[in-house]
């Protein structure tokens, strides 16, 4: 199994929020000037690429007040094996990833199965900003301003029946667009397509969202464009990216990492500092951009909201 040890991002490589906002304003201004034919020289500049920008977002009450991880760090230090097992690789390999057109199928134990266009979903549900911590198994973390909507809204729209006890998710399988899915002489890194799952009470918890953007803009390819799951009290591999299918089911699904390494990855993957990974401790974490490690919080700091979901269960089985 390939899991790379995280490397700190240098301060010189980080874009702060002020610079990021200025860049966004420049892109918007340049786009308007292009529409008027005023700046033909920009036709060969990367800033001319159309980008969906979400305006007037309301900040969710579930948001943390912790300092944001800089935009450049969030978008250049990524776990996305569909592109590369190296954390720097996805940002380069997903540079030209096309996330439109894109459809999301909702199926299974529901009364209203449907295949949505992703832009239809964006219009259907009110978007908000959710500032969440993201904790990875390899003992690094980020604080990211996601743009999205609660998953429970989509599930309610599909009208689950009484047999719906779990929610399964599936990532796009397209080796031409996602080069990490190609097979080599040694086989594939994982058994594609990537799959994840939640218990339905976890899926409909108000903290669980489908994200379509970050930092006020649409998701970059390396961050899971155009739509991904974010479950902030679980390790990052649960927050499946580039989703094409959501299926409600009666039986507990077998998730990709659970199938790949069952001794190391369980179904629940809740952040638990007291249960070490078989190859390293989970007791401390390093926030990207910081030098010193900090104690890992149970449920990634969301215990007050979600611990009741697991009352009476063996906490050592929840990882």
Label residue 57 exposed, middle or buried (CB < 10 Å: 0-12, 13-18, 19+): middle
Q: In whole angstroms, what is the distance from residue 81 CA to residue 104 CA?
A: 21
Is there a contact between 121 and 209 (Cβ–Cβ < 8 Å)? no
Q: Could you tell me the pTM of the whole model?
A: 0.86
**Which candidate, 160, 161, 131, 158, places its Cα nearest to that of 146?**
131
Supply 314's token pair.
Answer: 């063996």
What CATH superfamily is the domain 11-310?
Oxidoreductase, molybdopterin-binding domain (3.90.420.10)
Q: In whole angstroms, what is the distance from residue 103 CA to residue 121 CA?
A: 10
Domain ranges of the chain: 11-310
Which residues touch 192 (CB under 8 Å, ≥6 apart)?
A: 82, 171, 173, 181
User: pLDDT at position 33, please?
Assistant: 41
Which residues touch 200 (CB under 8 Å, ≥6 apart)?
A: 155, 160, 164, 165, 166, 167, 248
Mean pLDDT by runs of 10 across the 319 residues of the chain is 45 51 51 43 39 92 97 97 97 97 98 98 97 96 98 98 98 97 83 98 98 98 98 98 98 97 94 92 95 96 98 86
């Amino acid at each position: 199994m390939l899991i790379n040890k995280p490397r700190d991002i240098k301060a010189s490589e980080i874009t702060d929020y002020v610079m990021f906002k200025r860049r966004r304003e420049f892109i918007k201004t340049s786009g308007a000037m292009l529409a008027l034919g005023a700046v033909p020289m920009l036709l060969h500049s990367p800033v001319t690429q159309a980008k969906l920008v979400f305006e007037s977002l309301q900040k969710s009450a579930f948001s943390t007040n912790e300092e944001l991880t800089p935009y450049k760090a969030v978008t250049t230090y990524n776990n996305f094996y569909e592109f590369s097992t190296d954390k720097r690789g996805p940002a380069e390999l997903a540079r030209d990833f096309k996330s439109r057109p894109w459809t999301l199928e909702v199926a299974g134990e529901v009364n209203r199965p449907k295949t949505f266009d992703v832009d239809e979903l964006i219009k259907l549900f009110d978007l908000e900003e959710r500032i969440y911590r993201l904790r990875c198994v390899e003992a690094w973390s980020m604080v990211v301003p996601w743009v999205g909507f609660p998953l429970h809204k989509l599930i309610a729209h599909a009208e689950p029946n009484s047999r719906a006890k779990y929610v399964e998710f599936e990532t796009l399988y397209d080796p031409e667009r996602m080069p990490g899915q190609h097979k080599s002489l040694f086989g594939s890194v994982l058994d594609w397509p990537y799959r994840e799952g939640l218990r339905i009470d976890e899926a409909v918890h108000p903290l669980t969202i489908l994200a379509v953007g970050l930092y006020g803009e649409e998701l970059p390819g390396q961050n899971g464009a155009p739509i991904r799951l974010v479950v902030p009290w679980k390790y990052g591999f649960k927050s499946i990216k580039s989703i094409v299918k959501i299926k409600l089911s009666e039986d507990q699904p077998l998730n990709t990492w659970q199938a790949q390494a069952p001794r190391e990855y369980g179904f629940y993957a809740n952040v638990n500092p007291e249960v070490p990974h078989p190859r390293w401790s989970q007791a401390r974490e390093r926030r990207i951009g910081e030098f010193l490690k900090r104690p890992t919080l149970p449920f990634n700091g969301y215990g007050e909201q979600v611990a009741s979901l697991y009352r009476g269960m063996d906490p050592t089985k929840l990882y």
